[in-house]
Amino acid sequence: MARTALGRLPTDKQTTGRTPVDDQQGLTPVFIAGFPAGPWGTNCYVVATGPGSECVVIDPGKDSAAGVDQVVREHRLKPISVLVTHGHVDHMWCVAPVAGTYDATAWIHPSDRHLLSDPMAGMSPETTQMLLGGDYSWAEPDDVRELSDLAELELAGLRFVVDHTPGHTQGSVTFRTPYAQQDVSELMFSGDLLFAGSIGRTDLPGGDHATMLRSLAGKVLPLADDIVVLPGHGEQTSIGRERATNPFLQDLTQDV
């Protein structure tokens, strides 16, 4: 698979980026492999301190298990946790298989936990129609732990700050981790809260547009411009870029 350094995330290729972070800041290196998977092109991420270490898998959606396996084998990684930004099927399809394969713990917000075993409850009519006739079954992984707002997770030698950002779903969250290199202070795995030039839809079960706007105003607008956003779909972006060009954030800024 073709790779590029952190700074571009093509939607049709796997991306791997690694940087040594200034030891004087008390931070560790960050290694990231990301690739779009499945019919929805959902970005799945594998995050570690480097080859040969433990790692975290974020949003293993449909058809992502093979990609995770390739990254894990190529870089001699050991998944210990699976982080789920929200419970929609395109982000959680392979949570149980990946967690089960590596004996990893799955983390999800309690408001979306029911979707691990019943993702149909959060599907759009078109997605439900697409899956009709298929032999699908879902179940919770053996070890599931619940996320809370502003929780700090120490996983695989990395620190993740959880922000509860309902609107796309009731249990949507983002994960931020320190980066501090190449003029980037943090990385934010935004799920379907924030995309390059857009935001997540709110017309699915559990979605609410007013709640989404509150999450953007309270959890995104206060962030530093240099934070790189790794979204659930499409190209990576930054808080500064979205603040300047994203019409949804521009409207919120004008309302402040």
The widest CA-to-CA distance across the chain, in whole angstroms, is 57
Domain contains 4? no
Dist CA 50 CA 89 (whole Å):
29
Contact 143, 106 (CB under 8 A): yes
Contact 93, 62 (CB under 8 A): yes
Dist CA 199 CA 192 (whole Å):
7
Contact 32, 15 (CB under 8 A): yes
Domain membership of residue 187 as a residue range: 15-118+137-255
Tokens 């796997």: give the residue: 14
Q: Please report the beta strands in the chain, taking only residues with DSSP state E, as ranges in sequence order.
A: 15-19, 30-37, 42-48, 54-58, 78-83, 105-108, 144-146, 152-155, 158-164, 173-181, 184-191, 194-195, 198-199, 228-231, 237-238
Provide the pLDDT for residue 26: 53
Of the candidates 19, 91, 11, 84, which has an alpha carbon nearest to the alpha carbon of residue 48?
19
And the tokens for 161? 């700050």
Domain contains 36? yes
Of the candidates 63, 27, 73, which has an alpha carbon nearest to the alpha carbon of residue 43?
63
Provide the pLDDT for residue 3: 29
How does pLDDT run along the chain (256 residues), one tens digit per residue?
322 223 223 333 344 444 333 333 456 679 999 999 999 999 999 999 999 999 999 999 999 999 999 999 999 999 999 999 999 999 999 999 999 999 999 999 999 999 999 988 888 777 777 765 666 778 999 999 999 999 999 999 999 999 999 999 999 999 999 996 779 999 999 999 999 999 999 999 999 999 999 999 999 999 999 999 999 999 999 999 999 999 999 999 886 5
Domain contains 132? no
Domain CATH for 41: 3.60.15.10
Domain contains 9? no
The CA-atom distances, in angstroms, between 21 and each of 2, 49, 110 are 24, 10, 33
Domain contains 25? yes
Domain contains 82? yes
Contact 206, 242 (CB under 8 A): no
Domain contains 3? no
| Structural domain count of the chain | 1
Is residue 96 within a helix (H) or strand (E), and if so which, with residue range? helix 95-102
Of the candidates 192, 255, 171, 173, which has an alpha carbon nearest to the alpha carbon of residue 221?
255
Of the candidates 131, 126, 124, which has an alpha carbon nearest to the alpha carbon of residue 168?
124
Domain contains 109? yes
